[in-house]
Amino acid sequence: MKKIGPILLSSLISAILAIVLFKYFDEPQQVIYRNNPRPAYTNATSDNINVPSDQRQFLSSSPTNFIAAAEKVSPAVVNIKAIETIDFRFWSDNNSYGSFTGSGVMISPDGHIVTNNHVIEEGDEYEITLNDKRKFEAKLIGSDPSTDLALLKIKANRSFPYINFGNSDSLRIGEWVLAVGNPFNLESTVTAGIVSAKGRNIDILKDQYSIESFIQTDAAVNPGNSGGALVNTNGELVGINTAIITRTGRYEGYSFAIPINLVQKVISDIQDYGVVQRGMLGIGIEEVTDELAKTLKLKEVEGIHIKKIEEGGGAEDAGMQIGDVIIKVNGFKTKTIPQLQEQVARHSPGSMMSITYIRNGSKKEIEVMLKNKHKNTDLVILENQSHQILDDLGFECRDLNNEERTNLKVEGVKVKSVYRGSRIARTNMDPGFIITKINEEPVIDLLSFVDQINKAEDKIMLEGVYEQFDGDYFYAFKK
């Protein structure tokens, strides 16, 4: 015990001495406080907030204000069940039913709903489930496979919650957005992410006149969320969620939405005309590469190179030439093909577009009148209504030529093509089928055939022949 006391005392003295020496030789630590400047949100209106000149005044809102936006938007995002009726025995009530689900966005108080075409294209009937679990029937107003959009209308005379349109042109890379869906009747799902890119083409739409200029985000979008809303943090609709890139079938960090400025044009045309009025420049194009930029002696590797001028198109009428490089359309830069396509797709035949382009190293500007695919400015209404009817069913037809009439000794129309996944495709009809009767009435030509389809009430039975096979064939479906 006598030895322990001196040891403890010696340890205590050593510790005190070490602290004194450390304090004496150590430099005093400096703590620097920096007052963070008040955040200059680009929607700010206060005079004492300095908004940088490169920021615009109409961005969404405070970039982390998700709660208000989610509460505002969720009631207007619905679940859509597309019900397919399959007749195994056509003239009986022995039917089978399949269904496909997705999301939709109500855009007006009377119950108009925007969704993806691929959500509803398999259906004959449509059931809408609201966020509060109320259910309604809806009818299809029209669809546009080239942009993968469709418009439905709830069959009810009442007021519904809806989302206001924003401005997809104002979206900036890095801006916060919310993806809101209503999948599998789980009520609304809300995920957050940022805008990763704009004007993306992922080559998923196979229509001849497809327009892909997607907004890319990292907001989680899973099966059942297709057709849902992409909104900014002010709760404004800036896109319709459409696709993901995945190897597993689940979300992996890449989701894509149709910009709302393009959506507005498409659904307005569907409401007004039943078909999209698509203006075209009448050119064949390719993006400028580094090699092409060197060949054309361009200062920058950007723009759209014209490699073909269609005869009778708007570009030819305006004097554009092969080799011109388009760099702006109506003041918008066109660095990529999707950017050019989106800008043109927002306008109808007869619209004038300002085109800025480079020719032989010189910058020029010209006004071009857009035309339709028939190289005129007529509204595509009456002529295309017949084709639209056949498109909606899922096939293309033409009149028989004289040789076919003579060899087969029949009157009717010939099926040129059958669209994959359509109602006609589900009957197992093949291209080349010659339709001679519809619901036991003779088919004379294409116009009368379309008229007969219009007059048919519900069920349709097509009878006909194949040139290479003997006997009559029958295909049945619901209108």
Residue boundaries of the structural domains of the chain: 63-276, 283-369, 382-478
The per-residue pLDDT for 385 is 54
User: What are the tens digits of pLDDT across the range 222-231?
Assistant: 878 889 999 9
Calculate mean pLDDT across residues 255-282.
91
Residue 47 is among the residues annotated as catalytic for this protein: no
Q: How confident is the model at residue 380 (pLDDT cuts 50, 70, 90)?
A: low
What is the rounded CA–CA span in Å between residue 144 and residue 454? 20
pTM of full prediction above 0.85 = no
Please compute the mean of the pLDDT values over residues 261-287 and round it to a whole number. Answer: 91
How far is Cα 249 from Cα 452, in angstroms, rounded to an integer?
A: 42
Binning pLDDT at 50, 70 and 90, where does residue 476 land? very high
The type of residue at 26 is D
Q: Which fold has domain 382-478?
A: Pdz3 Domain (2.30.42)
CA angle 310, 269, 69 (to 5 degrees): 120
**Topology of the domain covering 63-276:** Thrombin, subunit H (2.40.10)
Q: Give residue-wise pLDDT tens across range 385-398.
A: 556 788 889 998 88
pLDDT at 331 over 60: yes
Do 382-478 and 283-369 fall under one CATH topology? yes
Supply the CATH classification number for the domain 283-369.
Answer: 2.30.42.10
Is the pLDDT confidence value at 419 over 70? yes
329 or 373, which is more confident: 329
| Higher local confidence (pLDDT), 78 or 398 | 78
148 catalytic? Reply is: yes
Strands (E) in 375-458, as ranges, are 395-399, 413-418, 434-438, 441-442
Q: Which of 98-107, 131-140, 258-267, 300-309 has the lowest mean pLDDT?
A: 98-107
Regarding predicted confidence, which is higher, 16 or 255? 255
pLDDT confidence of residue 407: 84
- Look at residue 15 and give its three-state secondary structure: helix
Per-residue pLDDT at 392: 84
Catalytically annotated residue among 148, 269, 324, 392: 148
Residue 367, exposed/middle/buried by CB under 10 A (0-12, 13-18, 19+)? exposed
Q: Which tokens belong to 54?
A: 């490169």
Average pLDDT, the chain: 82
Of 60, 61, 188, 226, which residue is the catalytic one? 226
Q: What is the pLDDT of residue 438?
A: 95
pLDDT value of residue 39 = 32
| Straight-line distance from the first to the last Cα atom of the chain, in angstroms, rounded to the nearest whole number | 106
For the cut 60, the answer to whether the pLDDT of residue 47 exceeds it is: no
Kindly state the average pLDDT of the residues 355-364: 93
pLDDT category at 30 given cuts 50, 70, 90 is very low
Closest of 279, 278, 297, 277 to residue 288, by C-alpha: 297
Query: Residues 112, 118, 305, 347: which is the catalytic one?
Result: 118
Q: In DSSP terms, which residues pair with 194 in a beta bridge?
A: 176
Question: Does 457 or 43 have the greater pLDDT score?
Answer: 457
Q: Is the CB of residue 213 less than 8 Å from the CB of residue 61?
A: no
Residue 452, SS3 per DSSP: helix
Q: Are strands 237-244 and 176-181 parallel, antiparallel or unpaired?
A: unpaired
Question: In a 3-state reduction of DSSP, which class is residue 202?
Answer: coil
Q: pLDDT value at position 249?
A: 64
What is residue 421's predicted lDDT score, i.e. its pLDDT?
Answer: 84
The stretches of 105-259 forming alpha helices (DSSP H) are: 117-120
Contact assessment for residue 207 and residue 146, using Cβ atoms and an 8 Å cutoff:
yes
Q: What is the mean pLDDT of residues 184-207?
A: 81
pLDDT of residue 29: 33
| Least confident range of 46-55, 123-132, 151-160, 438-447 | 46-55
Our answer to whether residue 226 is catalytic in this structure is: yes
479 pLDDT above the threshold of 70: yes
- Is the Cβ–Cβ distance between 80 and 101 less than 8 Å? yes
pLDDT (0 to 100) of residue 176 = 94
Give mean pLDDT, residues 232-257: 84
- Buried b / exposed e along 28-48 (16+ C-beta atoms within 10 A): eeeeeeeeeeeeebbebeeee
- Are 278 and 328 in contact by the 8 Å Cβ rule? The answer is no
User: Is pLDDT at 31 greater than 50 in this prediction?
Assistant: no
